[in-house]
Amino acid sequence: MSLFPQGSNGASEDEKRILVTGGAGYIGSHTALLLLQAGFKVYIIDNLDNSVEDAVQRVAELAGKSQENLFFYKMDLRNKDKLKRLFSIVKFYAVIHFAGLKAVGESVAKPLLYHGNNLIGTLNLFDVMNEYGCKKLVFSSSATVYGQPAYVPCTEEFPLSAANPYGRTKLFIEEIARDVQQADPEWSVILLRYFNPVGAHPSGLMGEDPKGIPNNLMPYVQQVAVGRRDELYVFGNDYPTRDGTGVRDYIHVMDLADGHIKALKKLFTDDVGCSVYNLGTGRGTSVLEMVEAFEKASGKKIPLKFVGRRPGDCSEVYASTEKAERELDWRAKHGIDDMCRDQWNWAVKNPWGYRAPEFKDQDQ
Ligand code: NAD
Ligand code: UFG
């Protein structure tokens, strides 16, 4: 498989080395696998704050022979000296930057932790990349930067805002990236705004394994289905949507991972500047529709309890996908039935995630 516009042999060894920060996490691990399968050398750094090394081992397992191109370093991005040491040993072509904390509620309670981790980690990364002349970056942004969108679908030109410290870290990093690129046009930066990633690798060997009580809908639904939780609390059934529950743009994690390969391919071309793309399907699905699809895929009944709206939640959010289709040649291929099928397959094979209960944290 060639990723290079100028022909399959166009990539030098330098161009093949990709640093993946947060690569032990949910989206990073799936992306790392696709990178290996596309012929890249993948260097993962992760502090394992919200992940386990087993995820990297599964990437290696699924990569087969290509696992010889996979390298893992337990490292915190806030440790600049360690980061510099890595850059002094390995010459990277580009960085895909997933590492960050992502729980909205926790960010409200612990703003300094979120700003400290996400902003200082990213500033260190920019600094070290600059110093070692690696100026190509793909960054994990989020649809959260659209705040409460005035209408849908969200296009990349929408005004930006943030409703919580987590969202502000994304907004600030986007702005920092724009400033850095404007000051030095040698930089090429792609900001990817993810909508709602769900599902798992079709093998059932990799998937989402949140620590503690899941914040997001589908990991929670999954834990109800395997008996780890009694019922799903549906946050609000009085929204102005078809069935009163919140509508989101759920995207299969494999499609999302593929979006990163396409973004990387774009970095091999000129005139990227600092570009931003939505990664979603362009379709909205309600909470009840998602639960129904999961019940169909799993054959399990998900008991529901309707409770009040979750503060800060929007009624309806989904993406305009035109720009990514046009400029990245990327389009999501999977629908919600595929997402639920693959997530259930992961759940059946790993009801406790990567690790058995006796090895889990106390709060599980
Ligand atoms: P995740 O928590 O599974 O992965 C993030 C990884 O980063 C974890 O493995 C964590 O241990 C690591 N990490 C955090 N801080 C670090 C640091 N200072 N140094 C080194 N490693 C660190 O989350 P994910 O769902 O895979 O999300 C990846 C990225 O995408 C995040 O930046 C997140 O904000 C963003 N995003 C996620 C979603 C979503 O719903 N999953 C939506 C939009 C954007
Ligand atoms: N929901 C429930 N019960 C739950 C969890 C969620 O009813 O236990 C509902 C929510 O109210 C919402 C929908 O399910 O209507 C989706 O909620 P998620 O928490 O799964 O996703 P959000 O769209 O609220 O937020 C997620 C991430 C954010 C990110 C955003 C856009 O948590 O960090 O997607 O990418 F910014």
> Does the beta carbon of 101 sit less than 6 angstroms from any atom of ligand 1?
yes
Residue 362 CA to ligand 1 center (angstroms) comes to 21
Paired tokens of 214: 């899941």
Q: What is the pLDDT of residue 32?
A: 98
Residue in this structure with the two tokens 């992940």, named with its chain if needed: 51
Query: For residue 137, what is the enclosing H or E element?
Result: strand 136-142
Among 235, 239, 294, name the best residue to mutate to test ligand 2's pocket (greatest count of ligand atoms within 8 A of Cβ). 235
Return d(Cα 347, Cα 337) in angstroms, integer. Answer: 15
Residue 102 CA to ligand 1 center (angstroms) comes to 6
Look up the pTM and report it. 0.96
Q: Strand 70-74 relative to strand 94-97: parallel, antiparallel, unpaired?
A: unpaired
Paired tokens of 171: 């907004």
Q: What are phi and psi of 211, to 5 degrees?
A: -85, 140
Residue 163 CA to ligand 2 center (angstroms) comes to 14
Per-residue pLDDT tens listing for the chain (364 residues): 334 433 333 467 777 999 999 999 999 999 999 999 999 999 999 999 999 999 999 999 999 999 999 999 999 999 999 999 999 999 999 999 999 999 999 999 999 999 999 999 999 999 999 999 999 999 999 999 999 999 999 999 999 999 999 999 999 999 999 999 999 999 999 999 999 999 999 999 999 999 899 999 999 999 999 999 999 999 999 999 999 999 999 999 999 999 999 999 999 898 899 999 999 999 999 999 999 999 999 999 999 999 999 999 999 999 999 999 999 999 999 999 999 999 999 999 999 999 877 666 544 4
Q: What is the pLDDT of residue 181?
A: 98
Q: What is the pLDDT of residue 3?
A: 42
Paired tokens of 153: 């679908």
> Does the beta carbon of 211 sit less than 6 angstroms from any atom of ligand 2?
no
Of 122, 159, 164, 116, which is closest to residue 139 (Cα–Cα)? 122
Classify burial at 360, counting beta carbons within 10 Å of its beta carbon; exposed 0-12, middle 13-18, buried 19 or more: middle
Residue 216 CA to ligand 2 center (angstroms) comes to 5
Helices (H), 90-216: 104-109, 111-114, 121-131, 165-183
Please say if 166 is a catalytic residue.
yes
> Does the beta carbon of 145 sit less than 6 angstroms from any atom of ligand 2?
no
Of 210, 242, 257, 250, which is closest to residue 315 (Cα–Cα)? 242
Question: Residue 164 CA: which ligand is closest?
Answer: 2
Burial 136-170 (b: 16+ CB within 10 A, else e): bbbbbbbbbbbbebeebbbebebebebbbbbbbbb
> Does the beta carbon of 100 sit less than 6 angstroms from any atom of ligand 2?
no
Please measure the distance between the N-terminal and C-terminal CA atoms of the chain and give it in whole angstroms. 41
> Does the beta carbon of 287 sit less than 6 angstroms from any atom of ligand 2?
yes
Of 37, 95, 91, which is closest to residue 64 (Cα–Cα)? 37
Q: What is the pLDDT of residues 81-98, one digit of tens each?
A: 999 999 999 999 999 999
Question: Residue 207 CA: which ligand is closest?
Answer: 1
Residue 134 CA to ligand 2 center (angstroms) comes to 35
Paired tokens of 302: 């998900």
Largest CA distance in the chain: 57
Q: Strand 285-286 relative to strand 247-248: parallel, antiparallel, unpaired?
A: antiparallel
Protein residue with its CA nearest to atom 16 in ligand 2: 217
Q: Which of 43, 114, 146, 166 does the annotation list as catalytic?
A: 166
* Cβ-based neighbour number of residue 105 at 10 Å: 14
AA letter at 144:
T
Q: What is the pLDDT of residue 15?
A: 73
The alpha carbon of 355 is separated from its chain's Cα centroid by a whole number of angstroms, namely 21
Return d(Cα 34, Cα 93) in angstroms, integer. Answer: 17
Protein residue with its CA nearest to atom 32 in ligand 2: 216
Q: What is the pLDDT of residue 361?
A: 54
